[in-house]
Amino acid sequence: MNTEPKIENARIISTMLGAEDHGIFTASLILEGDGWQCAFGGAALDKPSKDRTREPFRVGCAYGCEYIRRLLEVLEVPSWEKLAGALVRVRSGGIGGRIHAVGHIIKDRWFNPETDPTLNNLLKAEREH
């Protein structure tokens, strides 16, 4: 079995930024490549409120803001609204695998929230509080 990541070109065909059906604020990119479509993202970009007795039960956090900022920065797209239609590269596990990172279409710049040191530090700090 090949464990090397597969890198392919793709187009962002749509995006989602908002609360999913459980009220968790999230972001997703719907990507289309040569004969395939897949979503990237879906991470919680907010956190549970410390006051669980009244709404809102979830509140914004630094991790969510930085996640969106880093994604736009890596892809060199000025705003969320301009993501749809952008050409990107994807790093995935291949057919049946998930997308691990999205990258700039030309430059060797990648956004992988699982390995991004700034995002990991923010997530760790938020878990400690």
**Residue 85 falls within a domain, yes or no?**
yes
- Percentage of the chain exceeding pLDDT 90: 75
Report the C-alpha gap between 13 and 111 in whole angstroms.
Answer: 18
Expressed as residue numbers, the domain containing 118 is: 6-128
**Residue 1 falls within a domain, yes or no?**
no
**Residue 44 falls within a domain, yes or no?**
yes
Q: Does residue 1 register a pLDDT over 50?
A: no
Q: Does residue 54 register a pLDDT over 80?
A: no
- What integer best gives the mean pLDDT of the chain? 92
Q: Does residue 93 register a pLDDT over 70?
A: yes
pTM of the model: 0.90
**Residue 46 falls within a domain, yes or no?**
yes
Report the C-alpha gap between 60 and 70 in whole angstroms.
Answer: 16
Q: Which residue has the higher pLDDT, 113 or 1?
A: 113
**Residue 30 falls within a domain, yes or no?**
yes
Instruction: Tell me the sheet residues that pair with 87.
Output: 11
**Residue 116 falls within a domain, yes or no?**
yes
> How many domains are there within the chain?
1
**Residue 121 falls within a domain, yes or no?**
yes
